[in-house]
Structure 1
Amino acid sequence: MKRTRIAAALLATAALALPVAPATASPLDTLFGSASGSLDSGSAALGSSGGDKVTHYGKLGRPGAPNGIKSINVWVYTPDKTPAIVPNTYPKNSRLGVRWNSIIDAGPIVDGNECRMEVRLSGPKVPKQASLFKTQDCTAVKSYFFKGAGDFTIRVTDTISGASNSIAFSVQ
């Protein structure tokens, strides 16, 4: 009986000496770092539908993926601010591309290099060297110069989680 009390006292003393994480630290912060929308201040809202429920788009990532990516948001990227002729149709001789961010299941954006992204451009007369771009950036942009007309698709896939999404647009 006396040994039990001594052991209990030693355990209680040891528990008081354990370090405690700050109350503001999120368990996800230690895994992924900061989850901010660095490309534009409005991109964080696009990963969720407001409130507590998160909406994910595209092909969802595998549960338990090492980087935690659940989905990828994509948009047409116009670095030169080229206006669309009509929605999703742009003029020839324009620089266009894709802007993406990766979202974990809970909703925050992953803004780091924990991904293995493949960006695939398909359409008429796409040069082989432009058809596939690889990066580790979970949130980034990739642009191309479009001389000719046609219908194009850009697919962004994280090969670690399997999450992917695509955009389609036309050039006239």
Structure 2
Amino acid sequence: MDNTKTKITDPKVALAKAEHYCAYQERSQQEVRDKLYEMGLWPEAVENIISELVTAGFVNEERFAKAYAQGKFRQKAWGKIKIKQGLKLKKVPDVLIKKALLLIDSDAYINSLTHILTKKAALVKEKNDFKRRYKLQQYAMSRGFEPDLILDVLKNSDL
């Protein structure tokens, strides 16, 4: 059985598929671009389709950045550093990344960090306080939280 996908050469068919792809969930221009290249379209056709999608409102980088930031924070409890890296990988402009990160409520952000540290603290078996705090700090940093914020939360709690 052949696993190669059938290539689409008709830009109208590709546009319809791309519209469906974008209507399903928010997409960055880069995700759509990658998908169109995957379909086998030429660069000129890809850029024309992206342009049409932007004009029609199917693709909006700012809307995507905001949805991505909110979603990763709420659903996965990611910190701002990890969200920023994710958006950079999707080639979202820095100005839109900053706007999206400003939408994250600071109280909810600290509550989220406190919550993941509390959950992790219950699982850490380390008896040495210094090593225990280090493990908690490393865990929170791996989730994308800022080191100074992590230290503040650890200092102001009895974890």
Q: Please state which band the TM-score falls in when normalised by the shorter chain.
A: under 0.3
Bigger proportion of residues as strand: 1
Bigger proportion of residues as helix: 2
Q: Larger Rg: 1 or 2?
A: 1
Please report the TM-score for the alignment, with normalisation by the length of structure 1: 0.22
Please report the TM-score for the alignment, with normalisation by the length of structure 2: 0.23
